[in-house]
Amino acid sequence: MTLTAPAEPATPPRTAPARRLRDRLSPYAYVAPFFTLFAAFGLFPLLYTAFVSLYRVELQTPGDMEWRGLGNYTALLADEFFWTALRNTFTIGVLSTVPQLVMALGLAHLLNYKLRARTFLRTAMLLPYATSVAAATLVFAQLFGRDFGLFNYVLGLVGIGPIDWQNGTLASQIAVSTIVIWRWTGYNALIYLAGMQSIPSELYEAAEMDGASRWRQFLHVTLPGLRPTILFTVVVSTIGATQLFGEPLLFEGSMSGGISHQYQTLGLYLYEQGWGFFHLGRAAAIAWVMFLLILVLVGANALVARRRNRKEAGR
């Protein structure tokens, strides 16, 4: 601005303050649409949910709001189903996130080499992600069928008795996790691949000169270089795992996550309370607990990352 000012002496001095004001305000005007939308569709529902969570509200009679204070929250503490859902969310989260990210790393590492049909393979990685949850889950639900499912058929060939993928606790959680893994591995692999390509190739060349195997290169060049990317995927996957909903809902089409709630996640429990039993107040409380949970998890992640970075810097 200061550089161009002398070049335009013709500008009437009168308009200068107005223009300066405009210049100062225009960035805000540019970002305003986002924040307006965010306020309307992000912030307001968030606050309203907090408000509703303090009342007893039923969807069928939304006019009768009965003040409960923190009652909905304290009720959750004594609610066996809530704890089951929390535990399930955690175990399914671990069962799906850990193998998913490990496999994505491996795939990305392979795709990073010069391969035939590399572009095709990279595009193919995204296909599961592009499939809708509903379609994928419907197919997997058939594959995991107890009596006529493909997985049990194959297991039967090697002499393993039919597994009840719907009703077993671990079995059902593995089945749900499988769908998640199938959908998201390729997506994460592409993110890793992008991260890997920003690692300078000289590092690999130097490692190769030193006689490092590909595995050693992966451990000592790729992994450290990818740390910020890995952190990012961990955070995103954690958020995704905490909110897991579509896969368990459609797996059997039951809001209760199986006959014994064996794979009911927090998201599903929220849905069951709100849209199955119409207890909007309780559902709102669960939503807020989930929100806080995510904040804590993401915060913990950031903390760990910061400490590592500091350690690294100090080294």
Partner 1 sequence: MTTARAARRRTALRLGGVVLAGTLLAACGSGSGTSLSDTAGGKVTVTVDLFGSFGYEEAGLYAEYEKLHPNVKIKQTDTQDEADYWKSLQTRLAGGGGLADVQGVEVGRIASVTQQQADRFEDLRKYGAESLKGQFAEAKWAAATAKNGEVLALGTDVGPEAMCYRTDLFAKAGLPTDRTELSKRWSTWDGYLELGKQYKAKAPGKSAWLDSVGSLFSIMIGQEKERYYNASGELIWETNPALKTAWDTSVEASEAGLSAKLDQWSPQWNQAFSAGSFATIPCPAWMLGYIKGQAGEAGKGKWDIATLPGGSGNWGGSYLAVPKAAKNKKEAYELIKWLTAPEQQAKVFAKQGNFPSATAAITKIAGTTDPYFSDAPIGQIFGHAANTAPVQVLGVHDQNINQQITNALSEVERKGLAPQKAWENARKGVANTLG
43 contacts partner 1 (rule: CB under 8 A): no
Judged by beta carbon, residue 198 or residue 260, the one nearer partner 1 is 260
251 close to 176: Cβ distance less than 8 angstroms: yes
For residues 87 to 126, the per-residue mask of contacts with partner 1, x marking binding by CB under 8 A and - elsewhere, is ----------------------------------------
Q: Which of 277, 300, 302, 310 binds partner 1 (CB under 8 A)?
A: 277
Nearest-angstrom CA–CA distance, 182 and 151: 15
> CB of residue 273 vs partner 1: minimum separation in angstroms?
8
For residues 53 to 92, the per-residue mask of contacts with partner 1, x marking binding by CB under 8 A and - elsewhere, is ---x-xxxxx----------------xxx-----------
> CB of residue 100 vs partner 1: minimum separation in angstroms?
21
Stretch (H or E) spanning 289: helix 280-314
Q: Which of 123, 275, 303, 308 binds partner 1 (CB under 8 A)?
A: 275
Nearest-angstrom CA–CA distance, 19 and 22: 5
- Sequence-distant (≥ 6) Cβ neighbours of residue 14 within 8 angstroms: none
Cross-strand partners of 55: 67
133 contacts partner 1 (rule: CB under 8 A): yes
Sign of the alpha-carbon torsion through 34, 126, 103, 176: positive
> CB of residue 238 vs partner 1: minimum separation in angstroms?
21
Structure tokens given for 61: 């009679």
What single-letter amino acid sits at 260? S
Structure tokens given for 107: 């795939």
Stretch (H or E) spanning 112: none
Site for partner 1 in 144-183 (CB under 8 A): 145-148, 164, 166-167
What single-letter amino acid sits at 183? R
Judged by beta carbon, residue 72 or residue 185, the one nearer partner 1 is 72
CA dist 226 → 198, 270, 302 (Å): 9, 36, 16
> CB of residue 277 vs partner 1: minimum separation in angstroms?
5
> CB of residue 63 vs partner 1: minimum separation in angstroms?
9
Kindly determine how many residues on this chain lie close enough to bind partner 1 according to the rule CB under 8 A. 39
User: How many Å is the Cα radius of gyration of the chain?
Assistant: 26
Residue 257 CA, distance from chain mean position: 20
Q: Which of 181, 252, 265, 284 binds partner 1 (CB under 8 A)?
A: 252
- 279 DSSP assignment: B
Judged by beta carbon, residue 41 or residue 120, the one nearer partner 1 is 41
> CB of residue 245 vs partner 1: minimum separation in angstroms?
8
Closest to 139 in 3D by CA, of 103, 187, 178, 99: 178
Nearest-angstrom CA–CA distance, 286 and 288: 5
Judged by beta carbon, residue 25 or residue 259, the one nearer partner 1 is 259
243 contacts partner 1 (rule: CB under 8 A): no
- Site for partner 1, rule CB under 8 A: 56, 58-62, 79-81, 132-135, 137-138, 141-142, 145-148, 164, 166-167, 246, 249-250, 252-253, 256, 259-260, 273, 275-279, 282
